Chain A
Amino acid sequence: MDKTILKVVDVWKSYDDLEVLKGISFELAEKEVKVIFGPSGSGKSTLLRCINMLTPPDKGEIYLSGQNLMAPEVNLNAIRSKIGIVFQHFNLFAHLKAIDNVSIGLRRVKGLTKEEARVKALDMLDQVKMKNWAEHYPAQLSGGQQQRVGIARALAMEPNLILFDEPTSALDPELIGEVLQIMLKIARAGTTMVVVTHEMGFARAVASEMIFLDQGVIVERGTPNHFFQSPKSERVKYFLRQIDILYGSHEALLKEPNEEEIK
């Protein structure tokens, strides 16, 4: 692998008495796509929020292109502008049209003029196939369309990497496809991505490595092939069976193990 973009070293995070992350480490090379998955409450979202320092870790180190984000002299605003994030609930700015959602960061953070930002934002909206909706407010768009604008907003900043926090889990099933399509497209175009998702098809298509997180620790990691053919731990096997049921293989549902089998 070539240039390391992100390096997470032994990250710990707790909320009061609840330990959410217990020593997470991994590295991400340029143009790599890493998929993180695991049951709810396993610390996936917290991990992403630690990476862009919205909630700084209690312990451990995070390096972005070699720069230690935990160092006290680091300008976090500048750092965050280099780390895009796509939220589960989109978090588009409700009072701004799609185009302004994409251009606000360019204007306020990158200092582009109104006209420059507009041109760039339109180009980004075009990339997510939302150019025709530029003048619409978020509330006038479907969930899938909103999320595509969210992706355009992150892309526009030309970040070193983009974090995706369950980008499709708040969407109607029919709208998931259009968002995944865009994500596949930008992944193949060489965007460095950390994706928290249960979309196994997406993982299989572009992930170089998958990380299974449970109760704040990395239980198992490997290539998509590893997980789909020979996962080692029982916890992972059980989880993947549940995912399989969710996505419609009913044989798995009929073969549902009884309570005792689930450790």
Chain B
Amino acid sequence: MTLMLTLFGLLIGFTLGLILALMRVYGAKEVGWLASGYEKLFRGIPLLILIFIFTFGIPSLFWYLEPLERPIAGVVLALGLRSGAYQSQIFRGAILSVNPGQMEAGRALGMSGIQSFRHVVFPQALRLAIPGWSNEYAVVIKDSSFAYAVGIIEMTKAALRISANFPELWALSMGLVAILYFIFTYPVTKLFGERQTKKLKDLGMGGG
């Protein structure tokens, strides 16, 4: 459950973040304001509040789902909308750190602006975004634990339940959960963060 919440939250955030970043980098001034307004809003609200809003606050939001699935959808949406605000910043930074000469060379070959972005700037921006992105994964997977507050059985809730039934196991179950989060987080940030940073250096990309 924890992994599913994280996966879908990140996926929504990825799509949203990419769109917001494009709005901010290439859009007209007003479009950029809209995107940066969104970022400010969702970076400024605690996740728990967002989760409450999308589950209890607007209970009819997911009217077409089974009642038991509604809070799950609410949590995924909250994680995704907030992650989008952060991922937008990751992508925006990545797009901007691709050397302007790259876009220029693409245009000079006769590619359109969209082609140049699609085949030249975007593939490089994606690589540049990976270290920041692996960090965002670590944030989202840990924040998915807030889902326990609306009754979803994910890792944290499961641990709390065990310790409620067997109080003597509280320390053990909590310790186990902490270790599990760490196991899910560390290798990913290690692999994508550090290895990609080295790879980027080999390609001479990012930070000149």
Q: A residues bordering B, Cβ < 8 Å?
A: 52, 54, 77-85, 87, 89, 91-95, 104-105, 108-109, 137-139, 153, 157
Which residues of chain A are within 8 angstroms of B204 by Cβ–Cβ distance?
94, 137-139
Residue of A54, A82, A94 most packed against chain B (CB within 10 A): A94
Closest 7 CB pairs of A and B: A81-B110, A139-B204, A105-B109, A91-B105, A91-B101, A109-B110, A80-B110
Which residues of chain B are within 8 angstroms of A83 by Cβ–Cβ distance?
108
* Cross-chain contact of A153 among B102, B109, B119, B127 (Cβ < 8 A): B109
A109-B127 in contact given A87-B105, A93-B105, A94-B205 (Cβ < 8 Å)? no
B158 at interface by CB-CB < 8 Å: no
Shortest CB distance B118–A (Å): 9
A94-B203 in contact given A87-B101, A104-B119, A108-B115 (Cβ < 8 Å)? yes
Which residues of chain B are within 8 angstroms of A94 by Cβ–Cβ distance?
99, 102, 124, 203-205
Main DSSP-derived SS at the B contact region: helix
Contact B107 A54, beta carbon cutoff 8 Å: yes
Interface string of B194-208 (1 = CB under 8 A from A): 000000001111000
Which residues of chain A are within 8 angstroms of B110 by Cβ–Cβ distance?
77-82, 105, 109, 157
State which residues 153-173 of B face A: CB under 8 Å: none
Which residues of chain B are within 8 angstroms of A80 by Cβ–Cβ distance?
107-110
Shortest CB distance A47–B (Å): 15
Which residues of chain B are within 8 angstroms of A108 by Cβ–Cβ distance?
109, 111, 115, 119
- Taking A79-B110, A94-B204, A137-B202 as known contacts, 11 extra A-B pairs with beta carbons closer than 8 A to each other, sorted by chain A number, are A80-B110, A81-B109, A82-B110, A83-B108, A95-B124, A95-B205, A104-B119, A138-B204, A139-B203, A153-B109, A157-B109
Shortest CB distance B179–A (Å): 38
The complex places the Cα of A179 from the Cα of B107 at a distance, in Å, of: 24
* Cross-chain contact of A91 among B104, B123, B127, B205 (Cβ < 8 A): B104
B31 at interface by CB-CB < 8 Å: no
Contact B109 A54, beta carbon cutoff 8 Å: no
Contact B101 A89, beta carbon cutoff 8 Å: yes
B60 at interface by CB-CB < 8 Å: no
Shortest CB distance A154–B (Å): 8
Which residues of chain B are within 8 angstroms of A138 by Cβ–Cβ distance?
203-204
State which residues 108-128 of B face A: CB under 8 Å: 108-112, 115, 119-120, 123-124, 127
Which residues of chain A are within 8 angstroms of B115 by Cβ–Cβ distance?
108-109
A-B residue pairs in contact (CB < 8 Å), sample of 7: A52-B108, A80-B109, A87-B105, A91-B101, A94-B205, A95-B124, A137-B203
A-B contacts counted at CB < 8 A amount to 72
The complex places the Cα of A116 from the Cα of B170 at a distance, in Å, of: 66
The complex places the Cα of A137 from the Cα of B203 at a distance, in Å, of: 7
Interface residues on B, range: 20 to 34
Shortest CB distance A141–B (Å): 10
Contact B105 A109, beta carbon cutoff 8 Å: no
The complex places the Cα of A95 from the Cα of B102 at a distance, in Å, of: 10
Shortest CB distance A133–B (Å): 15
The complex places the Cα of A91 from the Cα of B107 at a distance, in Å, of: 12
The complex places the Cα of A80 from the Cα of B104 at a distance, in Å, of: 11
Shortest CB distance B107–A (Å): 6
Contact A104 B109, beta carbon cutoff 8 Å: yes
Which residues of chain B are within 8 angstroms of A93 by Cβ–Cβ distance?
102, 105-106, 120, 124
Which residues of chain B are within 8 angstroms of A85 by Cβ–Cβ distance?
108
Contact A95 B127, beta carbon cutoff 8 Å: yes
* Cross-chain contact of B111 among A52, A77, A87, A137 (Cβ < 8 A): A77
The complex places the Cα of A93 from the Cα of B122 at a distance, in Å, of: 12
Shortest CB distance A52–B (Å): 6
Which residues of chain A are within 8 angstroms of B119 by Cβ–Cβ distance?
104, 108
Shortest CB distance B122–A (Å): 10
Can you name the residue of chain B whose Cβ is closest to the Cβ of A88?
B101
Shortest CB distance A147–B (Å): 13
Contact A91 B102, beta carbon cutoff 8 Å: yes
Which residues of chain A are within 8 angstroms of B112 by Cβ–Cβ distance?
77
Shortest CB distance B34–A (Å): 28
Can you name the residue of chain B whose Cβ is closest to the Cβ of A100?
B119
